[in-house]
Amino acid sequence: MSMPDTSNSMAGDGEPLANARLINYADAIREGLATAMENDPSVFLMGEGIADPASFFGTTKGLLDQFGAARAVEMPIAENGMVGVAIGAALSGQRPVISLHRVEFALLAIEQIVNNAAKSHYVSNGRHKVPLVIRMIVGRGWGQGPEHSQSLESIFGHFPGLKVMMPTMPMDAKGMLIAAIEDDSPVISIEHRWLHYSEGHVPEGHYVTALDGPAVLRPGGDVTIVGTSYMNLEALRAAEVLAEVGCEVELIDLRMVRPLNMAPILESVGRTGRLLTVDSSWAAFGTGAEVCAQVAEHAFSALKAPPRRMALANHPTPSSRGMVPGFYPDSISIAQAVGELCGLSASDVGAVVSKLVEMNGDQPIDTPNAYFKGPF
């Protein structure tokens, strides 16, 4: 199974990206945090677990020793208070980065995020800025039940004044995080916990990846898939096997939930005439729903088939392994959906599914397959 060809992609210094180091997503985030803190003394971290040996999935490892307790602040379980302190610090000219172990914990501080962080610039006629980054973890894994594994990005994407990013690739994880820290707006950064395990080519030193929206992970002319976060890796695997039966998928990594830049998606759908969105959250009122709505609004005449959404099954996230099958979209269900959208023959779809079943093997359903380590 081949990985995305990065040989023609360029790093920030003009060097081919394929020449950059190969590191994992968690280390890319840690480097981004360290780089931003080295460059600007107003940047500091707060979070539960910064001093813990697990170091927030490894993303804050060593930062306490490198920058001291005044700039890498271990916090008690008090999310509402922590967010309030961070908003006040940002309004006072600091650039705090908060780490929340699960997206659900942000719900304890939703009023401050929505009414104070998101609106201060607007209600002060631009006099106040809130340069704040709130990192949140989403996604599944062993023992992650209905209150610890949800993907709630569409909640935060709803509010003007917030930027919401969901980097998939390690290079973006570092570059977009630095860009978010240097941005004067509050930015919600959502990381899928299984992505921390993936590897990719990441340039050293300071670089920024603009918070400007979608990127094409794989070009194709038969169907457009718009994926978010970890679901891009499942879609990528499906796309590579579908190509063996002559179906070329154009895979677009959304990267930014808000602001939502639809231009690359509309251009792609204008060529393929078919759209599939693959969410890490639920379909109703979700990110994919918004993408489908805007495509129907602005590119209806280009569509050869109704847009289709794939997302979590419409019930709370299960804890039990026995209840997980069928709940999450995967490479197999994505390939089947593409087959229906593109009118592939039953024999072609069967061949693709058989290949994917063989490739997936006996991997436990609550751990990431080795394929998804990358490099990406």
Residues recognised as catalytic? 79, 148
Residue 207's contacts (CB-CB under 8 Å, 6 or more residues apart) are 11, 12, 13, 174, 175, 178
Instruction: Give the closest residue to 256 by CA, choosing from 228, 294, 224.
Output: 228
- State how far the Cα of 282 lies from the Cα of 221, in Å rounded to an integer: 27
CB 349 within 8 A of CB 175: no
CB 130 within 8 A of CB 90: yes
Locate all alpha helices (DSSP H) within the chain, ordered by sequence.
25-39, 63-67, 79-91, 110-111, 120-123, 153-157, 170-182, 231-242, 263-272, 287-298, 331-342, 346-360
- State how far the Cα of 239 lies from the Cα of 231, in Å rounded to an integer: 12
Considering only the C-alpha atoms of the chain, give the largest distance between any 2 of them, rounded to a whole number of Å: 63
Q: Supply angle C-alpha 245, 246, 252, rounded to 5.
A: 110
Residue 51's contacts (CB-CB under 8 Å, 6 or more residues apart) are 64, 72, 74
- State how far the Cα of 26 lies from the Cα of 193, in Å rounded to an integer: 9
